[in-house]
Amino acid sequence: MTARDSKGMHHLARLLAAPGREFHVLDLAAADTADPGAAAGLARTGDAGPLLYARAKQMYRRRLAEIEDDMEEARADNDIARQEQTELERGFLIGELTRAVGLGGRDRHAGASSE
């Protein structure tokens, strides 16, 4: 039985030919185009920087720790309104951090072709 010729098989062949080497997804895609130079350049264009800078992420994480304390106090006081408010804020901050950080904790960049 033979495998069908496809882009995915070409990508696998390229990866297997260079064990241990990391490839950017756009570099792999560039191999499938008529103009590989233009496609490979996409990985390095359109990047407006990280979605959240290190200081902002640090402040978000600090506030999340404070929110945990606020939530415990609100539960102890049976303060439903405060519990709801802290849950909303917690959800927002977690959503922002999730949106800004990719696999392995790497920063996602605004306007990046790879995103």
Confidence of residue 72 (pLDDT cuts 50, 70, 90): very high
The alpha carbon dihedral of 38, 41, 43, 48 has a sign of: negative
CA distance 15 to 77: 57
The alpha carbon dihedral of 44, 50, 54, 57 has a sign of: negative
Phi, psi of 63 (to 5 degrees): -65, -35
Question: What's the whole-number mean pLDDT along residues 61-67?
Answer: 93
| pTM across the whole model | 0.50
Does the pLDDT value for residue 30 go beyond 80?
Answer: no
Contacts of 89 (CB under 8 A, 6+ apart): 63, 67
DSSP annotation of 47 reads -
Residue 70 pLDDT? 94
